[in-house]
Amino acid sequence: MRSAERHRVAALVYDGLCTFEFGILVELFGLPRPELPVNWYRFSLCSLEAGPLDATGGVRIQARQGLAGLRQADTIAIPGWRDPDEVPPASLLRALRRAHDRGVRLLALCSGAFVLAAAGLLDGKPATTHWRYADKLRARYPRIQVEP
């Protein structure tokens, strides 16, 4: 794989972002891997809200792109959602459905599964989340095969 053809991974960032799940995405997709001859991924951040974002632990994050940046992604990664009881904004759900229709790979960590579920993208499929949220995911979205 030549550098110019690197797989484009966009991480969704938002106010209240959990730095733990975000850090996992940065580690997996955003850092050079010395054991590989070339970097496989081109990693970017796409923000749900404009301006600097307040993440957990007093961290501030500034993304260079908004949701429109998701249109260039080959993979969209959703870290744990800020509140499983909060329905994600319609603009985000539309962007994810459009990405899915284009064949973009979607992944979610922990409570990020609630975002994909709210978009209807997990219906009829097996999915998992943090054990603490598994019953809530199953109750709210009965068409998903929740596997804790």
Place of tokens 């404009």: 50
Phi–psi pair at 45, nearest 5 degrees:
-110, 135
The pLDDT assigned to 2 comes to: 43
Backbone angles phi, psi at 12, to 5 degrees: -75, 130
CB neighbourhood size of 2 (10 A): 6
Strands annotated E in 1-148: 7-13, 41-47, 53-54, 60-61, 75-78, 105-108, 126-127, 145-146
Predicted confidence (pLDDT) per residue in 92-104, tens digit: 999 999 999 999 9
| Mean local confidence (pLDDT), 82-96 | 97
Q: How many whole angstroms separate alpha carbon 30 and alpha carbon 10?
A: 10
- Tens digits of per-residue pLDDT, 117-136? 999 999 999 999 999 999 99
Query: For position 33, what pLDDT does the model report?
Result: 86
Residues 13/51, Cβ–Cβ less than 8 Å:
no
- Tell me how far the alpha carbon of residue 50 is from its chain's centroid: 17
- Cα separation, 133 vs 148, whole angstroms: 9
For residue 75, count other CB atoms closer than 10 A to its CB: 17
Domains and CATH numbers, the chain: 3-146 (3.40.50.880)
